Amino acid sequence: MHYIIMDLEWNYAYAHKLKGFINEIIEIGAVKLNEELEIVDTFSSFIKVQIGKKLKGKVKRITNITAQDLESGKPFTQALAEFRHWVGEGDCLTLTWGDGDIRVLIDNYKYLNGISFIPFLKKYADLQAFFHKAHKLPTTTQIGLSTAAEKLEIDVSAFDIHRALGDSLLSAEIFSKSFDAELLEELTLDCDQKFYDRLSFKAYIISRLDDPDIKSEAMYCVCKICKIRAEQVDEWAYKNKYFHSEFHCKECGTDYEVRIRFKKHFDKVTVHKRYRTKVAPDESAQDDALASREVGEAPEAPANI
Ligand SMILES: [Zn+2]
């Protein structure tokens, strides 16, 4: 069993076939770790651009990759065939920092090879989600690779960051330092049809009250003063991504404006609720954000919001 920790650099390119933009991969880097988490091999290759005409300024600035570098690169199909060979046939788990690279890789395979799956991918885990869980960080924000490294007191200057191999090596270091076999198993996904369906699912805000994914049990208001449920005095109305209604506490007379938003992900619905006090007996109007919480089945992988 090996761990493949992969990172990609992309360029934003106009794709005529799509009549829209695509993130075209320009570099692939990866580290292979054995079960003892030792580095046994590395992979690094530039990929010649085929879709975009030239490198975007921002990409050049961040990565220091030049047009000459890419000229020395291989076409996507060849580079990825070599990568697949390097990964090998044995049992392996691929990890990337966030699932963005996997989404981009699928898009590139579709556009350039006409296939909608990743041939070398058997099992996958999101290293960013793993890091969040391993260090009990909130899932509401997504931490970057450098910040994660700082938290572990890893000297980032020793790595060629924002380059595919450099970021892979840094990711591997973070992975080793945060390793937890049980948690990793929990986050490991088989790359079956459901895996691809999940990745292609676009999260959306639910706007209809009769949508079966609406969690009506979340549509209440508890008086902040009396800690009892307030009475709903108005119908729910949808506006600007939120359902709005008004509540009244019979006990203390406080009126509340309640806003609630439901976001549908592949296998969960997230609920975000806000209360605003309209008339408070001893305090001026205030707006309290209640922490977002998840309702429904626990996800096997975090959804990108
Ligand atoms: Zn009250």
Percent of the chain with pLDDT over 90: 75
> Distance (Å, rounded) from C-alpha 274 to C-alpha 71?
53
Residues of the chain with pLDDT > 70, as a percent, come to: 91
Output the average pLDDT for the chain: 89
The per-residue pLDDT for 279 is 61
- When pLDDT is averaged across residues 22-41 and rounded to a whole number, the result is 96
Task: Kindly give the distance from the C-alpha atom of residue 278 to the centroid of ligand 1, in angstroms, as a whole number.
Answer: 12
**DSSP states along 87-99:** H-SS-EEEEESSS
> How confident is the model at residue 281, as a pLDDT?
53
Do 116 and 200 contact (CB within 8 A), yes or no? no
Q: Which CATH architecture has domain 2-200?
A: 2-Layer Sandwich (3.30)
Report every protein residue that has its C-beta within 5 angstroms of ion ligand 1: 223, 225-226, 249, 251-252, 254
Distance 260 CA to ligand 1 centre (A): 20
Return the domain boundaries, the chain. Answer: 2-200, 204-295
295 vs 146: which has the higher pLDDT = 146
Average pLDDT over residues 108-123: 95
Q: For residue 232, what pLDDT band results from cuts at 50, 70 and 90?
A: very high
**Cα–Cα distance, 141 to 132 (Å, whole number):** 9
What is the pLDDT averaged over residues 199-227? 92
- pLDDT reading at 140 higher than 80: no
Q: CB neighbours of 184 closer than 8 A, spacing ≥ 6?
A: 93, 125, 130
Per the CB < 8 A criterion, the answer to whether 129 and 148 are in contact is no
**Cα 276 to ligand 1 centre (Å):** 13
What pLDDT, on the 0 to 100 scale, is given for residue 217?
85
